[in-house]
Amino acid sequence: MPFKDKEKARKYNTQYKKGWVERNRKRWNKYIRDWYEKNRDSEIDRKKKYYWSNREKEIVRVMEGNKRRYRRLRLQAIEHYGNKCECCNENQPEFLQFDHRHGHGTGALDRRIQKGKGSGIRLYRRIIGGERGTLRLLCANCHFAITQYGECPHHPRGDDPRPVHREEPSPNRDHS
């Protein structure tokens, strides 16, 4: 297709290539694999050189990627636990935390948490994978009040919302 506008032609070509790759995913993957096999040594060399001459930029890039991945998993894990504080219904994800210390559960997830293996990305992955311990979701305020004073002012006189032990993953599993 002739384009007068070079910019348009470029766009058309990238669109076309993307479409082709999607339609021929297997062929494309094999092509990339074979190409990499043939060029392995020079590629490793090239990447090393690139890394060392762009080191600071690369470190930032990797860290940003980790942060994005961490936040995405955190949001998904929060969603599995109903998206809101079990004490006050706060539903702003930035304010929500997993309360570990409340339960004395015996499930596999709880045992891992007690061994200190259950935090951050690993914990989120296990939650997203459908594991349930006696964790519960609290907002930072309620979490703080409960760990410091044993109860939250929202529920005085020991009317403490008990941890919900969910056997089934929450039905709300729409991850976007």
Strand partners for 138: 97
Our finding on whether 93 is near Zn ion (CB under 5 A) is: no
Size of interface with Zn ion, in residues (CB under 5 A) = 8
Contact 119, 146 (CB under 8 A): no
Smallest distance, Zn ion to C-beta of residue 145, A:
6
Contact 165, 135 (CB under 8 A): no
Judged by CB under 5 A, which stretch of 3-11, 53-61, 76-84, 153-161 contacts Zn ion?
153-161
Smallest distance, Zn ion to C-beta of residue 159, A:
10
Burial class (CB in 10 A: 0-12, 13-18, 19+), 58: middle
Site track 53-92 with Zn ion (rule: CB under 5 A), x = hit: --------------------------------x-xx-x--
Q: How many angstroms separate the CA atoms of 60 and 41, rounded?
A: 26
Judged by CB under 5 A, which stretch of 52-60, 76-84, 108-116, 139-147 contacts Zn ion?
139-147
Our finding on whether 161 is near Zn ion (CB under 5 A) is: no
Smallest distance, Zn ion to C-beta of residue 78, A:
13
- The single residue among 74, 99, 142, 163 that binds Zn ion, judged by CB under 5 A, is 142
Smallest distance, Zn ion to C-beta of residue 65, A:
31
Structure tokens at 125: 């992955």
Our finding on whether 137 is near Zn ion (CB under 5 A) is: no
DSSP string, 83-135: SS-TTT----GGGEEEE-SS----SHHHHHHHTT---HHHHHHHHHTT---S-
Contact 142, 87 (CB under 8 A): yes
Q: In the complex, which residues of this chain contact Zn ion (CB under 5 A)? A: 85, 87-88, 90, 139, 142, 152, 154
